[in-house]
Amino acid sequence: MHLNALLPLALLPLSTSAEPIRIPRNDELAISARARPDAPNGYAPAQVECPKEKPTIRRANTLSKSETDWLAKRRPLTVDPMIEFLKRANIEGFDAEAYINRVAEDVKDLPNIGIAVSGGGYRALMNGAGFISAADSRTPGSTDKGGIGGLLQASTYLSGLSGGGWLVSSIYANNFTTVEKLRQGREDSSIWRFDNSIFTGPDLSGIFDAARYWAKVAGQVSDKDDAGFETSITDYWGRALAWQLIDAPEGGPGYTFSSIADDDEFSNARAPFPILVADGRHPGEKIISLNATVYEFNPFEMGSWDPTTFGFAPMRYLASNFSNGVVPRDGKCVRGFDSLSYIFGTSSSLFNAFLLQNITSVEGVPDFLIEAGTSLLQGLDADRNDIAQYVPNPFLGWNKDNNPTAETSELDLVDGGMDLQNIPLHPLIQPFRSVDVIFAVDSSADTTYAWPNGTAMRASFDRVGGAIANGTLFPSVPDDKTFLAQGLNSRPTFFGCDVANFTVSSNQSPPPLIVYVPNAPYTAMSNVTTFTPSYPLPQRDGIIRNGYDAATQGNGTLDAQWQACVACAVMSRSWARTGTDVPAACASCFDRYCWNGTTAGADVAIASGGGGAEYDPTFKIGNGNPDDESAGVKVDVGRSAWALMVGLVAAVAVL
């Protein structure tokens, strides 16, 4: 069988020749319509009159009323897609429709699905896009034999971090549009045109050049500064990325994260709940540890479940002058600070140093911006402009006994993967959300050739062993040597299969079962370096298609029962709660895919290596685009990409 026969027509390479890639006309393809920009003054935040009921900080001892009300609409809407997905999976001996209809009457027994897309720059965006495309029933062919289409429609939560956050943000910035529409783009739009580096800017019918592009970016950031708000390199980084991620003039400077709540698809609960993640950096600290406070951003709130902050601020009114959790009687409110680009820039702020290092050498960048970049580069450590600055600190005076930033006027946030939790699992393991299964898409670059080795999973497991875990639980995960020795980093693996293995208190539930889906070379060498700034469109499409193959195991080519095994993972916790016997077909799946708890001994030699040694896998299916040289390129990053990123930031910080 030819490889292309395994995939939907929409996912085939756009071109395998030297001919220019044609972008469809507006009447052929349209990105989903979006609600109007919500910020009162473009990119610049502005003071506004507070609503009659002034916004306040709330304690993190429950879900917000907004999320609870939204869930009341969303959970019932997952029933039909879940039934359709399970029926297509066809688990032998299980009547999916009868079971789901029965448990849907009591929503707590209905499977609750989350998807988490890791960080890793464009690599993570593209690989994650392949998974989302495979899980989306709107993708042509995704509901055919071997497909997992409908999983996205049956999911409740979708989290992203850094590059994965770019993916989530781009989908929701365009009213929960499809990966296919974003990939194909449209005429006179720079959406997902990754062949044009953000350093040089988009190619829009000859209208733009690098100087005018950067002048517009700088002008937007200057507007924020002129309005009296702190700015940092994160502002420039986010605004530049926005041209590729938001299909609106000049990257939609007036689009806010909170405005997602008003979009048609999300407000009507026809899309999962989007969450982005960032880490807090304590005053005076430079190293981000596993004890760092993890912050989340969702359409309603920004804050943390951790006992340090243990509070949430209303997203729409970030930068209002909160003190001890309230806006003073005579205080004003602020809107527009939660710019969508600033939020996904915050989650990927590790790239700030990368931006500074490169912007000074790009032809066409205006002198004033080069001078500003050079000045910032020299003064980074003093001004702390290597991070995202949230001023005023919404948690000033809040939770004083435990909050290390309670006495500071500035809240510093950094890339969500800096604590090594490069998969945004933290929001999805919170007991209040009661998630049953998480599909963890890992595009981390832990080995010499930029493949994952389970470090992100291990970090999340290690974190729940400390006081900061605050009641969260996580399945046991082995070390990186075991991941490599047992091949857990090259194929899907289930963690936490047996609920009987968990000791839980009366007010706890077992942690979610995690379906770990690591980036691996199915049909493309998708291990591009984290800091590669641009990608030819055939390479972009090849990596997306590779992620599709990882999600579907080549539409069942590598395992004809994979579709059923995914369904078994979805059902596992629900069956345990209702005392339902596990079908024999699922027992077989769990035997094959669940980690068996064994670890590699100290004397086990790993031929392919890991970390500083070479782990160099070959195609699992075959080169999906043999005419494209980029499809089979071995990418040698010289050392772990995470080490490279951390080293880059450290080098800049001491300048």
What is residue 557's predicted lDDT score, i.e. its pLDDT? 96
What is residue 295's predicted lDDT score, i.e. its pLDDT? 98
Between the CA of residue 48 and those of 10, 147, 316, what are the distances in Å? 46, 49, 11
Q: Would you mind telling me the total number of residues written for the chain in this entry?
A: 655
What is residue 187's predicted lDDT score, i.e. its pLDDT? 84
From CA 517, how far away is CA 526, in angstroms rounded? 14
DSSP-based three-state secondary structure for 349: helix
Per the CB < 8 A criterion, the answer to whether 149 and 27 are in contact is: no
What is residue 351's predicted lDDT score, i.e. its pLDDT? 63
Answer whether residue 574 shows pLDDT above 90.
yes
Between the CA of residue 392 and those of 49, 50, 288, 344, 380, what are the distances in Å? 17, 16, 22, 19, 20
Confidence band of 605 (pLDDT split at 50, 70, 90) = low
Instruction: Report CA 231 to chain centroid distance, whole Å.
Output: 24
The pair phi, psi for residue 277, each rounded to 5°, is -130, 140
From CA 419, how far away is CA 610, in angstroms rounded? 20
The one-letter code for the residue type at 226 is D
Highest mean pLDDT among 15-19, 275-279, 530-534: 275-279
Per the CB < 8 A criterion, the answer to whether 445 and 641 are in contact is: yes
- Mean pLDDT across 364-380: 57
From CA 96, how far away is CA 80, in angstroms rounded? 11
Per-residue pLDDT tens for 105-156?
889 999 999 999 999 999 999 999 999 999 999 999 999 999 999 999 999 9
The closest of 343, 348, 259, 255 to 300, measured between CA atoms, is 259
Neighbouring-strand partners of residue 440: 116, 516
DSSP-based three-state secondary structure for 411: strand
Stated pTM of the model: 0.91
Mark residue 325 as left, alpha or beta (left: phi above 0; alpha: psi -120 to 50; beta: remaining): left
Q: How far apart are the first and last CA of the chain?
A: 56
What is residue 509's predicted lDDT score, i.e. its pLDDT? 84
Per-residue pLDDT tens for 521-530?
999 999 998 8
What is residue 505's predicted lDDT score, i.e. its pLDDT? 78
DSSP-based three-state secondary structure for 108: helix
Question: Helix, strand, coil % (nearest 5) of the chain?
Answer: 35, 10, 55
- Mean pLDDT across 352-380: 58
Answer whether residue 358 shows pLDDT above 80.
no
The pair phi, psi for residue 169, each rounded to 5°, is -65, -40
Answer whether residue 594 shows pLDDT above 90.
yes
From CA 559, how far away is CA 493, in angstroms rounded? 13
Confidence band of 207 (pLDDT split at 50, 70, 90) = low
Answer whether residue 563 shows pLDDT above 80.
yes
Q: What is the mean pLDDT of the chain?
A: 86
| Domains of the chain listed by start with CATH number | 3-8+65-653 (3.40.1090.10)
The closest of 354, 365, 386, 341 to 242, measured between CA atoms, is 341
Residues ≥6 apart with Cβ < 8 Å to 643:
none
What is residue 99's predicted lDDT score, i.e. its pLDDT? 98
For the purposes of burial, counting CB atoms within 10 Å of the CB of 226, is it exposed (0-12), middle (13-18) or buried (19 or more)?
exposed
Per-residue pLDDT tens for 375-415?
654 544 444 545 889 999 999 999 999 999 999 999 999 98
The one-letter code for the residue type at 123 is R
What is residue 643's predicted lDDT score, i.e. its pLDDT? 38
What is residue 365's predicted lDDT score, i.e. its pLDDT? 59
Per-residue pLDDT tens for 229-267?
999 889 988 999 999 999 999 999 999 999 999 999 999
From CA 59, how far away is CA 434, in angstroms rounded? 19
